[in-house]
Structure 1
Amino acid sequence: MLTSVFGVKGETKDYYIVFLSNQSVNKASTHISILSALKGSDLDAKKAHVYSYTKSFNAFATKLSESKARELSGMDGVQSVILNQYRKLHTTRSWDFIGLPQTARRKKLESDIIIGVMDTGITPQSESFNDDGFSPPPAKWNGSCHHFANFSGCNSQVHNAELFGLAKGTARGAVPAARVAMYKVCWASSGCSDMDLLAGFDAAIHDGVDIISISIGGLTGAYTNDTISMASFHAMNKGILTVASAGNDGPSLGSVTNHAPWLLTVAASGIDRGFQSKVVLGNGKTVNGIGINGFNLKQKLYPITSGDDVAINSGSQESARFCLENTLDPRKVKGKLVRCKLETWGSDSVIKGLGGIGTIIESDMFLDTAQIFMAPATMVNSTVGETISDYIHSTRSPSAVIYKSEQVKISAPFIATFSSRGPNPGTKHVLKPDIAAPGINILASYTPLQTLTGLKGDTHFSKFTIMFGTSMACPHLAFDMVCMRKATPMSSRVNQNAELAYGVGQLNPRCAVSPGLIYDMDSMSCVQFLCHEGYDGSSIASLIHSKSKIDCASLLPPLVSEDAINYPTMQLTLKNKKGITTGTFRRTVTNVGRDKSTYNATIRAPKGVNITLEPMTLSFSHTSKRRSFKVTVSANVNGSKKLVVSGSLIWRSCCNVVRSPIVILNPQYQNS
């Protein structure tokens, strides 16, 4: 395990990140000199200075007033000054579910792969990070190992991993021989600051990682002044792919974060494993709830009541429905099961603290994820909740029991309710998220330093826990370099937001063996994209650290396509007026399959949409040969009453199938 720690717990927000031009000397002493000229003395400059980024960026972080930050932005050699902001933090079955069993053939070169992970850190003592038998880090590694984690391996397979007897199996990563370089850039109390994130990228790029996995988001600034966007652009220039989580603000439309085209943005999907708890009522009726409840109640039945029936007084009755602290009468709760409506997590802790037996939580949200409970509890939808309420109020002595959770097989894949959706808030031309990967009910290594729930009164610790979030989906993609061309299609009938929820579809890890064709994207195509999007030459120069302003007029080709970028998906956004919208998409693919191969195209167009392609056949004489094609899409704004309809372009050879979704977005239905 290769680890680094960045940041000071409890940092305030009056910090700025200062980017300098390439002409400036990239040394900490130079950064102090610039601050000294601003502050008036070396002593004040050193007090204000926080970081110098000297490995991969020419930048520094400093504590300043707003007026001093404006003054600094006008100094020679300073390209941009960005306010430091704080971002949100976003197994045993998942790999088998998506088609990568333990028996899959491995490649010897896998031990040279280094994945840089930016998050809250890990517990190096965990069995999952056991490096017994690992060779030293590959020669390309330029970093160092922290004193408390001085070992080089990771991703070990742990047998008989489980939580409360659930999800039992072998906990493993996709590439067990790969290395993990952990960069702690987030803190439980303050989140993830931009200046710590930049320090992580600065070190990871210099250290020699192959892939960066970042499950952090929350801000959606312009691509030229957003820290993750800027840092991942520099990583791309060094040949490093950044894989990022889409966010956990679904199902709201337009909630996707980390949506720059040079980032691989991952949505969260469900696997075919769920966790249910059976509830038996005193009248003999049985209902099922969702969640992870590892408790065996001793009696067959217990008295049951509703939160609003055991309020301290009539004034607290409304809040008591949600079983909030200081709203319930302990005498009426003790020894009973309590039905509570969900407002915030933790009602199981409140009920246990008052001497209650357990909790039945009613909600129509989060029903596709299994919450871990610290006491006997389960979650039911409002229909089941009303059934339980009707029973409680139909008899003088209502009773019930909650049984220990069981593992059940469910229909999958599907996109998690919490997984953030498009449309892309940064541009109407690029589809985001890009792809989906398992992010629900994932068994993950856990710290022994914290209880399973972190709630008051919880006394349960475990080496493993079950988690959900796009932060769980992101690492599934990180090993794969990227297989967007061969993802498994998902159903728009199951997921009503279609590609806005899952991109090209579910991760297919076996495609890494033979992807066939790839869509290469370099920094110049990204610059052309930014020019096409209307970014000014100065802001683009700041992003790429150019010493002179970018002349967009000279960089855009004569025949500009709809999106001006070589992306594997195509999105046409209809204009909010009557008539037909037409878009042209120019793409270039590179052959990474057989030396001699021919691909024939199939177009699938939705009703009311016309899609044409030139040419219909691509022939390659050798590997690395490139071929270009043009796709023209025409659609009527009145042709559909849906937000999104989709078609596809499919290239087929003797040995490969390469699919590109074509999405038609009708923004007038986004809020309907």
Structure 2
Amino acid sequence: MSSVLVFRAKWRSGEHRAAESSRNVFQPERRGNPSDAFVMTRSQNPSMLLLTMFSQKLTKSFSLLWLQLLLILLSIASINGAEQENFYIVFLGAQPVSRDIALETHLNVLSSVKGSYLEAKESIVYSYTKSFNAFAAKLSKDEAKKLSTMDEVLLVFQNQYRKLHTTRSWNFIGLPPTAKRRLKLERDIIVALMDTGITPESKSFKDNGFGPPPAKWKGTCGHYANFSGCNNKIIGAKYFKADGNPDPSDILSPIDVDGHGTHTASTAAGNLVSNASLFGLANGTARGAVPSARLAIYKVCWSSSGCADMDILAGFDAAIHDGVDVISISIGGGSPSYVDDSISLGAFHAMRKSIITVASAGNDGPGMGTVTNTAPWIVTVAASGIDRAFKSTIQLGDGKNVSGIGVNCFNPKQKQYPLVNGTDAAKDPKNKENAGFCYEDSLEPKKIKGKLVYCKLGTWGTEAVVKGIGGIGTLIESEQYPDVAQIFMAPATIVNNGTAETINKYIKSTRSPSAVIYKSHEEQRQAPFIATFSSRGPNSVSQNILKPDIAAPGIDILASYTLRKSVTGLKGDTQFSEFILLSGTSMACPHVSGVAAYVKSFHPNWTPAAIRSAIVTTAKPMSRRVNNEAEFAFGSGQLNPTRAVSPGLVYDMDDIGYIQFLCHEGYNGSSFSALVGSPINCSSLLPGLGHDAINYPTIQFSLESNKASRLGVFRRRVTNVGPAPTIYNATIRSPKGVVITVKPSSLIFSKTFQKRSFKVVVNATSIARNKIVSGSLIWRSPRYIVRSPIVIYRS
């Protein structure tokens, strides 16, 4: 749900909202993971086996007391030993010739630190054999350290658990239902979603009119608990959960209990569904970017535990083998490194198989340097707003109308309700502060029964607290209006400080204050803008790569949902809907994934770098006045789908280009061998391209305050993917304090797919500390505009 998956406590801008399960779900006994990745189930604890054998041989001279004591001590030792072990992921050398040989190799390597083949089989949980040569196992720190010193081992890193970070949005960014399509090729595009699963019963995933899966498809779809099965739209579904920890609020199946995966899948490639809405709000035709494309589902995220690195890698391993074209992953929060991060590793191997990976930028904005998924072979997506807001009218008892933000789906049953301030309804007169925020157990039920309650915003779910003790609804004061429309489980709305002052004055002006909250309605607002929650640059891993790459709609996006969970996830909520409004970079990510698939349907042979370049260089520029962090907030700008199909020029590259970049960044050849499959001798490679050593479609020049260097030379190469002959002329926009030049200033192409190189020189003469300034390079022909942002930042 790149969106923001902070799994069970998320509010809707990131989707931070309470996510308590509203119903019990059937949880079958775990009998191993039925995915194609090899999984071994763990048998009984060896120390308990030893304990059993020892106790059977005890002589009668041992008293029962001593036996019990021994049992306790051995149990404690067993528990302590287990606590010292964690899951680790281990990468080995080149791809083995067969799965059986790979498995045998993994067990032999593991046996060398475990002491026996049996213990190795006990500890291994995944053997990745399709797309890369690696395994995941439970190890102690010492065992992991020993493995890392072995010649055949390229990389060892500890498993982490990550967070999960749409009808009008497609029209807003210029992809109407009538947009030009190549349906025959679109039907062969397979979009993979790594998320919380899918709801196959949804109208967004019906297969009416779909033929059989493409011939290239190698994936499978088995029979799973509570899962109705695949069809010719959802052509594959698997789940991955190797830690063995029970999740009572989820199901060991590709079924989506959370709703996040259903939402992202339908945003990327859902069918056209007319009259879709959330209880009448946001009514329209719900659809994905490529309604005729196929979906492959890899459930790697779970309600309680989140998304484990080892499961994410298993998903990548399977998706690459299965033959997908695009991988959409709305997950983040891993290692700040390109070489030991599961998403970065998986995406690199996907790129080498011509599969493009699109990921969410994260929901930790507006703080600087918070962007995640920053590897240059990943397309990183920020969340922008569209020209629609959801507001509720509040009518006060004196007849004055004020407005609040949020999704309130309730029509009032009477003209006015008594209104009380939470501080005046405190259960404990000495603790009015908590009552002012309407925290749980802070209000006196008798004082709020049948009333609207005015509260300050403290935690999400305030209206649930008020409703739970007899209140009618809630007016919630926030310092400013949030970007997103929180969905409420009872009548409620959020007001800003100015409106709050009006309400407070009214409450104090009368002995019998009253008010009513009307059902929400839609209003237009200025857009696009970047959501405050959307993570910002600069890139914390590399000073030479601009991230995020692109912005796409991620606020109040209507798309399919699950009926297994209420629309708020709050205890007591009885609202269920087939469609829902969600917000987060999780929602922005599948917009770009869908457009990547759309571009791929026109250009099946384009590389992931070429598709990324087309998306980035055709983006609509966004205003710095609205977005203070400029390109660190929105990358190259707002997604522009139809122009991305015909970009004119592309900045293309292959895996060698990325390897040169890593060498230039200071990684030694052995440190990123897990990406490539074997150690690399950086000194034997040709030098990279200029200051940043990469043929990226954007330019970032970072100045360190303690260094005198103010000159950057960036070498780039473009490929003509438009008609020929043609000439492109350069237009440079230089910000104040910076001089930018390009040589040559004209590029002449006599044929399609011809390449031309050029040099960009950035001379930053005067830039203040912690300052970001930006310019651009535009290549113009009579037919095309190819724009690359140039960002100069001084730390």
Which TM-score tier does this pair reach, normalised by the shorter chain? over 0.9
Q: Which moved more, 1:310-319 or 1:196-205?
A: 310-319
Q: Which moved more, 1:487-496 or 1:519-528?
A: 519-528
Query: Retained in 1: the 8 A contact 2:747–2:756?
Result: yes
RMSD in angstroms over aligned alpha carbons? 2.0
Q: 2:736 aligns with which of 594, 607, 625?
A: 607
Q: 1:552 aligns with which of 682, 689, 695?
A: 682
Query: Retained in 2: the 8 A contact 1:23–1:77?
Result: no
Q: Distance in 1 between matches of 2:305 and 2:681?
A: 40
Q: Cα distance, 1:317 vs. partner?
A: 2.0
Q: Distance in 1 between matches of 2:453 and 2:334?
A: 39
Q: Which moved more, 1:109-118 or 1:479-488?
A: 479-488
Q: Cα distance, 1:5 vs. partner?
A: 9.5
Counterparts of 1:131-146 in structure 2, within 5 Å, are 131-146=207-222
Partner of 1:167: 282
Q: Cα distance, 1:640 vs. partner?
A: 4.7
Q: Does 1:575 align with 2:704?
A: yes
Q: 1:526 aligns with which of 658, 683, 696?
A: 658
Q: Distance in 2 between matches of 1:283 and 1:512?
A: 54
Q: Cα distance, 1:80 vs. partner?
A: 1.3
Partner of 1:243: 358
Residue type of the partner of 1:33?
Answer: N
Residue type of the partner of 1:93?
Answer: R
Q: Which string of whole-angstrom CA distances, capped at 9 and with x for unpartnered residues, describes residues 522-576 of structure 1? A: 1111111111111122102232111x3x22233252x852211111110111231
Query: Retained in 2: the 8 A contact 1:580–1:634?
Result: no
Q: 1:221 aligns with which of 336, 354, 378?
A: 336
Partner of 1:655: 783
Runs (4+) of structure 1 moved beyond 6 Å? 3-9
Partner of 2:751: 622
Q: 1:233 aligns with which of 348, 370, 373?
A: 348
Q: Cα distance, 1:474 vs. partner?
A: 0.5
Q: Which string of whole-angstrom CA distances, capped at 9 and with x for unpartnered residues, describes residues 124-154 of structure 1? A: 1111000111111111111112334221215
Residue type of the partner of 1:500?
Answer: F
Q: Which string of whole-angstrom CA distances, capped at 9 and with x for unpartnered residues, describes residues 175-218 of structure 1? A: 11111111000001000000000000000000011110000001
Q: Which moved more, 1:578-587 or 1:72-81?
A: 578-587
Q: 1:84 aligns with which of 156, 159, 164?
A: 159
Q: 2:588 aligns with which of 462, 473, 486?
A: 473
Q: TM-score, normalised by structure 1?
A: 0.95
Q: Distance in 2 between matches of 1:190 and 1:476?
A: 26
Q: Distance in 2 between matches of 1:170 and 1:537?
A: 51
Partner of 2:669: 537
Q: Cα distance, 1:577 vs. partner?
A: 4.6
Q: Distance in 1 between matches of 2:151 and 2:793?
A: 44
Q: Which moved more, 1:608-617 or 1:69-78?
A: 69-78
- Count, aligned residues: 660
Q: Distance in 1 between matches of 2:158 and 2:481?
A: 34
Query: 3-state SS of the aligned residue for 2:642?
Result: helix
Q: Cα distance, 1:479 vs. partner?
A: 2.2
Query: Retained in 2: the 8 A contact 1:366–1:418?
Result: no
Query: Retained in 2: the 8 A contact 1:5–1:183?
Result: no
Residue type of the partner of 2:164?
Answer: L
Partner of 2:46: none
C-alpha change, 1:243 and 1:560, in structure 2 (3 Å) is closer
Partner of 2:314: 199
Q: 1:120 aligns with which of 196, 199, 214?
A: 196
Q: Distance in 2 between matches of 1:508 and 1:23?
A: 39
Query: Retained in 2: the 8 A contact 1:142–1:207?
Result: yes
C-alpha change, 1:76 and 1:578, in structure 2 (3 Å) is closer
Query: Retained in 1: the 8 A contact 2:383–2:588?
Result: yes
Gaps of 5+ in 2: 1-33, 42-81, 235-269, 597-611
Q: Does 1:14 align with 2:86?
A: yes
Q: Which has the higher contact order (CA 8 A, sep 6+)?
A: 2
Query: Retained in 2: the 8 A contact 1:291–1:405?
Result: yes
Q: Distance in 2 between matches of 1:622 and 1:92?
A: 41
C-alpha change, 1:69 and 1:210, in structure 2 (3 Å) is same
Residue type of the partner of 2:231?
Answer: F
Q: Cα distance, 1:470 vs. partner?
A: 0.5
Query: 3-state SS of the aligned residue for 1:480?
Result: helix
Q: Which string of whole-angstrom CA distances, capped at 9 and with x for unpartnered residues, describes residues 234-276 of structure 1? A: 1111111100000011111111000011110000011111100
Partner of 1:670: none
Counterparts of 1:251-262 in structure 2, within 5 Å, are 251-262=366-377
Counterparts of 1:243-392 in structure 2, within 5 Å, are 243-364=358-479, 367-392=482-507
Q: Distance in 2 between matches of 1:32 and 1:552?
A: 31
Q: Distance in 1 between matches of 2:752 and 2:121?
A: 54
Query: Retained in 2: the 8 A contact 1:211–1:240?
Result: yes
Q: Distance in 1 between matches of 2:35 and 2:752?
A: 39
Query: Retained in 1: the 8 A contact 2:699–2:788?
Result: yes
Q: TM-score, normalised by structure 2?
A: 0.81
Residue type of the partner of 2:724?
Answer: D
Q: Which string of whole-angstrom CA distances, capped at 9 and with x for unpartnered residues, describes residues 481-508 of structure 1? A: 2311100111111111110100000000
C-alpha change, 1:8 and 1:298, in structure 2 (3 Å) is farther
